[in-house]
Amino acid sequence: MRKKEIIQRCDAAEEAVFAKGEKLLLICVNKTIEIEDEAYTLLDRVRYSWKISPRRAEEAEYVLAVTYGLIIGVFENGEWMDATKENFAGGIPEVYGNWDDQEGRSGFRGHDAPDNVRKRYLYKRVPSELRGHGSPIRYVGV
């Protein structure tokens, strides 16, 4: 999807409702979403190389991939670990690994969330109070 198309879709989308007690991690993938490479999946774009507290990130049940305010992916959270070639080789395409510049960064192993969870969030807008803060990471209920 291109930025213009995403923004139009976001403007038309209903706002996501995060139920009390839900533990979510929202990660903005604006910088990578326009890379056209089928080998570089949305899961790869959201799961790899973040300056984040792995301990806190693991508290979330689901990770939501967000671009320009629109939720474009919903994944079950998994184990967070250092963003090293040893931990992510074979999953992250070599060209995007940037293996020598990952100190202090982490990534997670995850997979698609169940359909009922995906339907609750996919292609909905992030609530306005969680947008525009400058950080690519947002926690809900964590």
What is the arithmetic mean of pLDDT over 106-134? 90
Q: What is the 3-state secondary structure (H, E, C) of 29-80?
A: CCCCCCCCCCCCCHHHHHHCCECCCHHHHCCCCEEEEEECCEEEEEEECCCE
Beta bridge partners of residue 74, listed in sequence order: 64
- In this predicted model, which residue has the larger pLDDT, 135 or 1? 135
CA distance 139 to 113: 17
Domain carrying residue 88: 3-140
Q: What is the pLDDT of residues 55-89, one digit of tens each?
A: 999 999 999 999 989 999 999 999 999 999 999 87
d(CA 96, CA 137): 20
pLDDT of residue 10: 60
- What does the pLDDT look like over 19-61, one tens digit per residue? 889 999 999 998 888 788 888 889 999 999 999 999 999 999 9
Count of all residues that appear for the chain in the document: 142
- Bigger pLDDT: 10 vs 71: 71
Across residues 3-13, what is the average pLDDT? Answer: 65
Domain count, the chain: 1
Q: What is the pTM of this model?
A: 0.89
Residue 28 host element (H or E): strand 24-28
Question: 3-class SS at 13?
Answer: coil
How far apart are alpha carbons 12 and 35 in whole angstroms? 24
